[in-house]
Amino acid sequence: MSITKKIYLYFPKSETEKPIVYQLVKDFNLIINIFRAKVTPEEEGYLSLDVTGQEADIERAFAYLSTLEVVIHVGNKGLRWDAERCTHCGACVVHCPTGALAFADTATRRLAFTEDVCVECHACIPACPFGACSSSF
Ligand code: SF4
Ligand code: SF4
């Protein structure tokens, strides 16, 4: 029986030129549905995708990824941003790889959360000193 997992991959500079998605398809028989990506040669990058396949193949694929310097987050974790708790300090902005948390208005320095752009990496949760970013997972 095949299953689908939502995963988020973070690539350091050293890994951005490796054909990782190709390997996942070819070597682990996975069906890949990429719904957000930014991988630029010579820079860090991220990939947010669904992988579908046999559970054993997915486990093997994760084992392969763990041999690289790729950081893997698994799950459909959701991210809640609490506007009431947010003090607009900006501490989360540099940790958010997609710009989902960003100053919408640089003049007033008011932070805005754009949920459509969030890839649920959860990097903002430990970065926020006021608990404005959270997840129930
Ligand atoms: S989980 Fe937080 S850091 Fe990650 S993309 Fe979403 S808002 Fe940005
Ligand atoms: S770190 Fe937390 S309090 Fe500061 S701007 Fe980001 S969400 Fe708001």
User: Would the pLDDT of 104 be above 70?
Assistant: yes
122 lines ligand 1 (CB under 6 A): yes
- What CATH number did the domain enclosing 130 receive? 3.30.70.20
Among the candidates 32, 52, 74, a domain finishes at 74
Encoded tokens for 23: 């390997």
pLDDT for position 110 = 95
Nearest ligand to residue 101 Cα: 1
The answer, yes or no, to whether any atom of ligand 1 lies below 6 A from the CB of 98, is yes
Same domain, yes or no: 92 and 70: no
Distance CA 131, CA 103 (A): 18
Nearest C-alpha neighbor of 68 from the set 25, 115, 21: 21
Domain match, 85 and 101 both: yes
Can you give the pLDDT at residue 136? 59
Across residues 2-6, what is the average pLDDT? 87
| More confident of the two residues 120 and 60 | 60
Q: How sure is the predictor about 41, in pLDDT bands with cuts at 50, 70 and 90?
A: low
pLDDT at 81 (0 to 100): 95
Domain's final residue, options 74, 92, 122: 74
Ligand 2, from 79, 80, 85, 86: best to mutate by most atoms within 8 Å of Cβ? 86
Same domain, 92 and 128: yes
In the predicted model, is pLDDT for residue 74 greater than 60? Answer: yes
Q: How far is the CA of 125 from the centre of ligand 2 (A)?
A: 9
Residues 67 and 85 in one domain: no
pLDDT greater than 80 at residue 131 = yes
Structure token pair of residue 98? 């997609």
User: Above pLDDT 70, what percent of the chain?
Assistant: 93
Q: At what angle do helices 55-67 and 20-28 cross, to 10 degrees?
A: 140
For residue 76, pLDDT beyond 70: no
Rounded average pLDDT over 105-127: 87
Range of the domain at 43: 2-74
More confident residue, 47 or 137: 47
**133-134 and 80-81 beta bridge pairing:** antiparallel
Q: Which of 31, 47, 74 is the last residue of a domain?
A: 74
Cα–Cα distance for residue pair 67/75, rounded to 1 Å: 20
